[in-house]
Amino acid sequence: MKFDSQVYCRRSIRLREYDYAQAGAYFTTIVTAGREFLFGKIENEEMRLSALGEIARVEWFKTAELRSNVKLWEDEFIVMPNHIHGIIWVNENDDSIVGARRRRAPTEQFGKPTTGSLPTIIRAYKSAVTYKINEMRQTRGTPVWQRNYYEHVIRDQNDLEQIYKYIQCNPSQWAKDEENPEWQNHH
């Protein structure tokens, strides 16, 4: 069966003219399918990872081990009960990238990933986590993540500092988070 773009029309939420393979820092949020609490729970304003949450954490840092153009730092990442937040640093110091003038299509097309781009990095991460979790639960083919993800291109030092603080404070703000079932019971 041939791919029909009219039938499978997905609207991209990426910036239309932005090259997601270029060097930069990207704040990402990835949410579990159905917002299911897979990764653990918040106790005393600290995240306690479940075995599935540990998979999400380990696979995040494997991303940088597998891709020389990606840098990740422990304090710029958090696993929450039903989502993750992290900053991905993409740089052009990758030996597999030829020339400083490389240019890619601004947005990927469905079924045509762009090596080294943020969407490709996220897709690989989600796939690895899904595979490991489903292997552990013996639930082959079960979705772990929502389709898509949230990203924000970090534009300057102030932006970076605000996002860093948000990531660091996320567990302590859980009591006020609409995703927290206890919050919903009190409002």
pLDDT higher than 90, residue 116: no
pLDDT band at 96 (very low <50, low <70, confident <90, very high): very low
Q: Which CA distances in Å does 156 have to 42, 72, 152, 153, 162?
A: 31, 18, 12, 9, 10
pLDDT at 180: 73
What domains can be seen in the chain, in order of their start residue?
24-169 (3.30.70.1290)
**Cβ neighbours for 128, distance < 8 A, ≥ 6 positions apart:** 59, 62
The residue-averaged pLDDT of 87-102 equals 56
- From residue 86, alpha-carbon distances to 6, 7, 54, 80 in Å are 34, 33, 15, 11
Of these ranges, 8-12, 47-51, 89-93, the one predicted with the greatest mean pLDDT is 47-51
Residue 170 has pLDDT above 70, yes or no: yes
pLDDT value, residue 102: 36
Can you give the pLDDT at residue 105? 39
* Mean pLDDT value across the chain: 81
Q: What's the mean pLDDT in 92-112?
A: 42
pLDDT at 115: 73
